[in-house]
Amino acid sequence: MVLNSRATDLLMLLLRRVGELVSKDDLLQAAWGNRVVAENNLTVHIAALRRVLRTDGDPDRYIRTEHGRGYRFVMPVEITQGEPGGLIDVVTPAGRPVVHGMSILVSPVQCLPNDDKSRTFAAEIRRHFAVHLSRIPGFVVVGMPAESDSLDDAAAGKAPASGEPATRYVLRTAVRPGHRDAQVVVMIDDSSSGATIWADRFEHRHVGLAAIESEIASRLCHGVVTELVDREAARPPELEGAASVAQSVFRGWSALNRGLLVHQDLDEARQRFEQALVDDPLNASAMAGLAYAIVAGNIRATTDLRASRANAAMVPEVRRADELSMLAVARVPDWPRAWFCRGYVRLRQGLFEAALTAFQRGLSLDPCDAECLAYVGHIHFLTGQLEEMRTPLENALTLCPRDRGVGLWHHFLGQYHFWHGRDELAIPYFVQGTDLCPSLVYPMTFLVAALAHAGRLIEARRTLDSWCEAMGGFDLTIDHLRAQVFSDDPTYLACHDRMHRGLRLLAVPEA
């Protein structure tokens, strides 16, 4: 649980006057100044402090209520004051550890003891969580033995038989059998407060196929990782050391989670990863994330007419991304995300076989990595293997329909149908791509070209004019689009030539 500033002010006053009775008026003054607030605000914030201090059922263990008068911090502490403005360190006699970093306890999956199918499925889910989460740099994963399954300990985030808080979060999963299928429920609890901060539910039909079970486990794991990264990024900043580096990295990935096509998010991600590498030059997660952000920014610029002249200046940056991604996979060879970032860089360099090898390496570690699947499909398109591109893209959309890159995946599938001349099938995919990537030129140009080929010229012209106006008077020319192709494969170029013919139907100028 993260304390807000008022709860922190209350704690600081209680600690400075440890053992003394602190009146309600003094506490209200410390937290709210001269503002008039209801007294129950003070009660709520004191309750929050007790949850953070993990009072284990005894509300007066640290902070004693003296009814009608105020509160007293009663636990003996040693207080050391660092530099002015620094934090006050509180050391309790029990030596209770403070949990830093992204730490999670993976509790045993709950299911009926006499349901063999659910038990097998539950074991696969837990194995997938433990393996996948433990591969992520900066994550500390604690597992509870299944035979010592203690729901009370799991809910409290405690290590078995120790009574001490082991992790910041607790991952709880349950398989609930139905008539022909099962329902899988996953929850993340904050171990300090016991509050459930995220939950999701999936329906599963027992078909005895490990691939399907792995797919569901992967979808659940993707949601868990995204939620935890965003929560860690939202925590108050650490002062220094490894905790500060880890938080910079989490904030970088959280910015990337918001989208790859917005300048502000990409700039923030780069700033966070750069800061992490200043403090820890060998941080593999920061290396991979920075490589990813560099290439995403470069691709974003090459599809923007107003920045296209800067491409030559970006060559050294892409070279740096290549070096960073190579170092990342060398340091964490079992992390699928590092291999994805490596493939993403090689793709930008036009080294399609090398990119495909990197993506396939990531899929060998996690066969349900949706981004790897999507870009495997994209490489098949770039190399003219159109019949091989559809399945991985459709699988990616099934696995992660709300992923940050899903707009491009829809666009890629639209290109598949567009090349085959199935314009009415392509149009809904291009619409999705345009809606989800509104600032990119390619989803829009393919959409209006497909509308034109389908005979919907008025709609196409209106759509293009509205987009150009929304982009601040974008001056679209076919020559600009022709200069921004990513491959010289004849099949790939034929698809773009068909797009150019559609734009000519709308009187888009050549130059």
Burial class (CB within 10 angstroms; exposed 0-12, middle 13-18, buried 19+) of 386? middle
Domain boundaries, the chain: 5-91, 102-232, 236-367, 405-511
What pLDDT score does 489 carry? 94
Homologous superfamily assigned to 236-367: Tetratricopeptide repeat domain (1.25.40.10)
pTM for the predicted model, two decimal places:
0.73
What pLDDT score does 247 carry? 85
CATH tag, 5-91:
1.10.10.10
What pLDDT score does 95 carry? 41
Q: Name the phi and psi angles at 240, rounded to 5.
A: -165, 175
What pLDDT score does 423 carry? 96
Q: Are 204 and 184 in contact (CB under 8 A)?
A: yes
CATH tag, 102-232:
3.40.50.10070
Distance between first and last Cα of the chain = 58
What pLDDT score does 180 carry? 64
Instruction: Tell me the pLDDT of the chain (511 aa) as tens digits.
Output: 445 567 777 887 887 777 788 888 888 888 777 777 777 778 878 887 877 676 455 656 788 888 778 888 877 665 444 333 333 334 444 444 444 467 888 888 888 777 777 777 777 788 888 888 888 888 888 875 554 444 444 444 454 444 444 688 888 888 877 666 677 888 888 887 788 888 887 776 554 445 566 777 777 788 888 888 888 888 777 555 667 888 899 999 988 887 655 677 888 999 999 999 998 999 999 999 999 999 988 876 665 544 444 456 678 889 999 999 999 999 999 999 999 999 999 999 999 999 999 999 999 988 888 999 999 999 999 999 999 999 999 989 888 887 778 899 999 999 999 999 999 999 999 999 999 888 888 899 999 999 999 999 999 999 999 998 888 888 889 988 887 788 999 999 999 999 999 999 999 999 8
Same CATH fold assignment for domains 236-367 and 405-511: yes
Token pair in block for residue 357:
């090898």
Helix, strand, coil tally for the chain in percent (to 5): 60, 10, 30
Torsion 291-293-299-304 (CA) sign: negative
pLDDT digits (tens, 9 = 90+) for 182-204: 778 888 888 877 888 888 877 76
| CB proximity list for 463: less than 8 A, separation 6 or greater | 444, 447, 448, 451
Domain 405-511 has what CATH class? Answer: mainly alpha
